[in-house]
Amino acid sequence: MSLKILLNGSKGRMGQAIAAAAHDMQETIAAAIDAGDDAAAHIGACDVIIDFSSHHATGRLLELAVAQRKPIVIGTTGHAADEKKRLLGLAAQVPCVWAGNFSVGVNLLFALTRRATAVLGADYDTEVIEMHHRFKKDAPSGTAARLLEIILEERKLTAEALKHGRSGITGERQPTEVGVHALRGGDVVGDHTVLYAALGERVELTHRASDRGIFARGAVRAAQWVVGQKPGVYDMQDVLGLK
């Protein structure tokens, strides 16, 4: 039987791509809601929630998911660190897939970044560059944020190592810096490069998304997977069996 999905952010670019993906994958969007609609009025009739909207919406939606014991898939990005910590506490009470990127290719990029950072280490200056369409409201992207988390974990650095852009007399680059650069323009769906530069060679890992369908299909696949899980916060590596 097809899953009944409550889709939050349904009028957005991702919302529309998810509705198309759900249709192709024989699932049902039972409630398509957006800003101004009341999720509480629809949640009872749905099996699972998918949220690709605004970071303002996630808290209320998670509270509803917990109250109604509904599994949830969260793709929304742009949460501040302290906000996200509180939301993760709520998310852990229901089965939840929370991912900064739902594409298979990017999840492979996460795994390759972990490996490359471990092998190359502090001798290789590491910078993350992302580019997105001109309409994107947050920076750096959720995917870049996850890549940076992986790099910091492997290098045993804290968020203080991050250098968001450079300007003026910055002095020489320190080996403990991890640069972050967000480019914005046109209709770019999402490009991410992790660059490792040493004296004499450079390694670049790049993923380019050209169609939002990759995230949308991943989100529906996550919804299909999460309904059978125990409460807890999972990511796409769990859904894809990459762990």
Chain residues that interact with ligand NAD, rule: CB under 6 A: 8-9, 11-15, 34-35, 52-54, 56-57, 75-78, 99-102, 142, 215
Q: How far, in Å, CA of 214 to CA of 210, rounded?
A: 9
Is 192 assigned a catalytic role?
no
Which is the catalytic residue, given 42, 70, 79, 132?
A: 132
- Cβ 230 to ligand NAD shortest distance, Å: 23
- Cβ 83 to ligand NAD shortest distance, Å: 13
- Cβ 229 to ligand NAD shortest distance, Å: 18
SS3 call for 6: strand
Nearer CB in complex with ligand NAD: 15/95: 15
Nearer CB in complex with ligand NAD: 124/215: 215
Nearer CB in complex with ligand NAD: 120/216: 216
Residue 219 Cα to chain centre, angstroms: 10
Contacts of 138 (CB under 8 A, 6+ apart): 55, 77, 78
Number of neighbours of residue 210 by Cβ within 10 angstroms = 11
Q: Give 199's DSSP letter.
A: T
Nearer CB in complex with ligand NAD: 76/193: 76
- Cβ 4 to ligand NAD shortest distance, Å: 18
Q: How far, in Å, CA of 26 to CA of 79, rounded?
A: 31
- Cβ 47 to ligand NAD shortest distance, Å: 19
Q: How far, in Å, CA of 108 to CA of 222, rounded?
A: 16
Is 243 assigned a catalytic role?
no
Which is the catalytic residue, given 42, 70, 79, 136?
A: 136
Q: How far, in Å, CA of 240 to CA of 243, rounded?
A: 8
Alpha helices in 6-137 (DSSP H): 13-24, 55-68, 81-91, 104-120
Q: Does residue 60 come out as left (phi exceeding 0), alpha (psi in the -120 to 50 range) or beta?
A: alpha
Residue nearest to ligand NAD (CB): 12
Nearer CB in complex with ligand NAD: 98/196: 98
SS3 call for 46: coil
Q: Which residue do the tokens 């509803």 mark? A: 64
Active site residues: 132, 136
